Each structure stands twice: as C-alpha cells, then as structure tokens.
Structure 1
Amino acid sequence: MTIRVVVADDQELVRSGFAMILGAQPDIEVVAEAGDGAEAVAAVRRHAPDVVLLDIRMPRMDGIEAARAVCAETDCKVVMLTTFDQDDYVYEALHAGASGFLLKDVRRDDLVHAVRVVVAGDSLLAPSVARRLVADFTSRGQAAGAGDGGVAASAALGALTARERETLVLLGRGLSNAEIAGELVVSEHTVKTHVSNVLSKLGLRDRVQAVICAYETGLIAPGC
C-alpha cells in the first residue's frame, strides 16, 4: 500500500526537504505541498491523503486550526511539526485531533517512521511522554470544551465490556499492544481487536485520543 502524504509548512526549504525525504521512500507518495493552513486543508480535501504534516505556526490559518478542520472532515491522520517543544503546543495539537507531534529537527529516519506509525494507528508519543503530557493537561484543564467531551465519553464507557475497559486503562498508561497482551495474558491479535472495539465504541480516532479519554473519564488519575 502506498501512503499518500501532504506536507504543509510556510518555510519552503523545510517543506521541500520533508517532501523530498518522504517522496524517496518506495511506500510513500507526497501528493501535495502547502504554504499555510488554508492551503493544507484545501489539499487534504482535494487529494484525500492518508497523512498530513502540519507546521503549527503558519500564516492565514495556523496548524492547530487546520488540524481541527482536517480531523472534523476526514479520516486523514495529522502529524504536527514545530520548532517549539513547549507543552502547550502539544496539548492543543492532541485535542485538535493530531495523532502525533514532531520537532522540525527530527532525524530523517524518524520522520519516515512517524508517517508509517500513524497510518498503522499508533501514537507518535512515547508512553512516558504521553502520560506526563495528558496528566498535566487534564489536571490543569488546558483544552477548551474538554469537560463536555469527558462527560460524553464517560457515558459511552457503559458500552465497553470489562476486558475493553481494562484495555483502555492500559492504553491510557501508554502500553504497547505487546505489553497489553502480557498484562491481560492474551495474544496480540486479541489486543488489536479490543483496541479496535474501544476506539469504535467511544468514537476515538486513535491511541492518542484513547490516552486522553482514559484520563478525562477518570479511569486513570493524573500522575498515576
């Protein structure tokens, strides 16, 4: 399967550099480049890519706003790019629906890996980073409207089986499929089924959103 990608950054050298790196891979095709958020959203609508790389700071429409539009309208995975490693950008990106967060000085191999990872439905945040960021986020109440989403998700938890709730808790703690399989003493295939059911029943896009959900619904307390 060829992974279709849109690259959006207002710096032409950065944009073209990322496009060149990704386009050189046999399983990745860069279908469009964009110089701002509005162009990025238009490109996603036009080309229906699998992944869009969005710079956070762009003219006309920034990456966060573009991410919200893309995630609301499509199933395209969003990876945020920035030169700033401040937590607030990560919080906003996650709640905009982003599947990952990368600094622009990311290594070539890590950039390529990131695209493949999000298409596979995994998170780009290491478990320890995900736990810290989301715990801090929920305890500080950084996201606008997070409360309403948390209430809705809490109500939806009743649709989960006991094993699916266990899976969500382990997802929230940042465990991989292999680690969850070890905890539950089941096969990785079974874990994938549980994860898929959790995401579907709760209306979540990916594992990053599952981590946020686990905290917002109180299944995991901040700092645990």
Structure 2
Amino acid sequence: MIKVLLADDQALVRAGFRAILDGEDDISVVGEASDGEHAVRLARELGPDIVLMDVQMPGLNGLDATRLIAEDPALAHVKVIILTTYDVDDYIYTALRAGAGGFLLKDTEPAEMIHGIRVVSRGEALLAPSVTRKLIAEFATRSRRPAVSPRLNALTGREREVMTLVAEGLSNEEIADRLFLSPATVKTHASRIMTKLGARDRTQLVVIAYESGMVTPGWMD
C-alpha cells in the first residue's frame, strides 16, 4: 500500500485528489495538510511514502517544506512530488535542489497522476510526462558549462554509463536494454551510485549529473 499525504491550501483541490486516489486498491491517502508547516509535521507523524506538495501555500511554502523533509534522516523514505500549475516555471529547478522526487501538473489526467505516484514510489521515475528532460537541462546549465566534479571519480566506468542514462531519463528497463544488462543489475548500480554520491534518489542523480558536467544539454554540445 502506497501511503500518500496531500499538501495544498485549497480544500477542494485536496478533496479532488483524495477522490481520485482513494479509488485505487494500492494507494491510501493518510492525511491532508493546508500549508507547508502542517505538511512537515504530518510527514513526521504519519510517515507517508509520497507527499503531493503544492508550491504556493501560506506560511511555509512547498519548496521550503520539501527541503525540510529531504533533510530529515527520519524521512529518508519519503518522496515529495511537487504539484505545479505550469510545466515550465521557475520553481522546478529549485524544487529539484530542495529534494523533490518528481512533478505533477495540477491539471494532469487522473491516470497519469496515479501512474506517477506509483513509479515515483518505486524510485524509477523522475518527472511527470509533461515535464521533460530538456527542462532539467535548461535550468541546470543555463549559466555556463560546469566543471567536472571530483566526486565523480568514485564511480566505476559502468556506473558512469548508468548514471548518464539515468540523467537522460531512462528507466531501469530501458537502461538494461541499452547496456545489455538485467534490470536488477541496473537497479544495483543505481543504488551504489546514490550511496557513493550521497544522493537521495534518482532525481538527485539528474541534478548532480548536470551540475557536475557529466551530462550537458544538446544546445551546449
């Protein structure tokens, strides 16, 4: 059962999400928060698997709430999915840096929302379908080409290959097909990479890959 916490200052929005999610056999809405501070408190009390987090809320906003959750060792298993109105806005890269594990548009189709929650809970998806890898590349490298980070020296050649493909948004199955490995082996490599680099999840690997210069968007090549 995937436990979901809803964080949005609009009661009607929360009610709509609850109605959608409570109809699924493998998803349970365990709580609702009307602001960021409430969301952090409930995350600590209820230990959800996923927090659907609105960005603009009174008091503590969704970005700061996401950062507090990501920095709490007791909440290491919690994945925050940011709810955003637009697929391109200034919140997205900041949210990635804060520790967000994914994004969903508020007007996304119910089936996409349910799918996004399931795949993010498994740690295999980075972003909602409407938020593309190109967006991450744009925000991560819009100023200048970064220098390659020394911390990447801890990775083996195979791990670098896997991380590059993770940063391109490929799933474990897609990476396995590309490198002629089993999905289980790819998952093991990804876990080791996250441990070596101190990354919270696969989304953080994308941030590290772009910021360190391991991967650059096409327009900078």
TM-score normalized by structure 1?
0.88
Judged with a 3 Å threshold, the aligned counterparts in structure 2 of structure 1 residues 202 and 219 are, in CA distance, closer, same or farther, namely: same
1:85 to partner: Cα distance:
3.1
Give the structure 2 partner of residue 197 of structure 1. 192
Give the structure 2 partner of residue 27 of structure 1. 26
Give the structure 1 partner of residue 43 of structure 2. 44
Determine whether 1:186 maps to 2:185: no
Superimposed CA distance per residue, residues 127-147 of structure 1 (whole angstroms, 9 cap, x where no aligned partner): 8954312221122259xxxx8
Q: How does 1:160-175 map to 2 (within 5 A)?
A: 160-175=155-170
Judged with a 3 Å threshold, the aligned counterparts in structure 2 of structure 1 residues 181 and 128 are, in CA distance, closer, same or farther, namely: farther
Q: 2:120 aligns with which of 118, 121, 128?
A: 118
Q: CA contact under 8 A between 1:130 and 1:211: conserved in structure 2?
A: no
1:59 to partner: Cα distance:
0.4
Q: CA contact under 8 A between 1:35 and 1:58: conserved in structure 2?
A: yes
Judged with a 3 Å threshold, the aligned counterparts in structure 2 of structure 1 residues 210 and 130 are, in CA distance, closer, same or farther, namely: farther
How large is the RMSD of aligned CA atoms in angstroms?
A: 2.1
CA distance in 1, matches of 2:151, 2:129: 25
Structure with the higher helix share, 1 or 2? 1
CA distance in 1, matches of 2:19, 2:130: 31
Amino acid at match of 2:35: D
Q: 2:94 aligns with which of 79, 92, 95?
A: 92
Instruction: Give the unaligned 5+ runs of structure 1.
Output: none
Corresponding residue SS for 1:109: helix
1:90 to partner: Cα distance:
1.2
Q: CA contact under 8 A between 1:82 and 1:102: conserved in structure 2?
A: yes
CA distance in 1, matches of 2:212, 2:129: 19
Q: CA contact under 8 A between 1:7 and 1:15: conserved in structure 2?
A: yes
Corresponding residue SS for 2:90: helix
Determine whether 1:208 maps to 2:203: yes
Amino acid at match of 2:87: D
Corresponding residue SS for 1:105: coil
Aligned length: 215
Corresponding residue SS for 2:4: strand
Give the structure 2 partner of residue 177 of structure 1. 172
CA distance in 2, matches of 1:127, 1:81: 13
Judged with a 3 Å threshold, the aligned counterparts in structure 2 of structure 1 residues 96 and 104 are, in CA distance, closer, same or farther, namely: same
Amino acid at match of 2:31: A
Judged with a 3 Å threshold, the aligned counterparts in structure 2 of structure 1 residues 62 and 174 are, in CA distance, closer, same or farther, namely: same
CA distance in 1, matches of 2:169, 2:26: 28
Q: CA contact under 8 A between 1:22 and 1:30: conserved in structure 2?
A: yes
Determine whether 1:158 maps to 2:153: yes
Amino acid at match of 2:97: H
CA distance in 1, matches of 2:36, 2:9: 9
Corresponding residue SS for 1:21: helix
Q: How does 1:6-25 map to 2 (within 5 A)?
A: 6-25=5-24
Judged with a 3 Å threshold, the aligned counterparts in structure 2 of structure 1 residues 79 and 20 are, in CA distance, closer, same or farther, namely: same
Q: CA contact under 8 A between 2:88 and 2:135: conserved in structure 1?
A: no
Give the structure 1 partner of residue 140 of structure 2. 138
Amino acid at match of 2:139: F
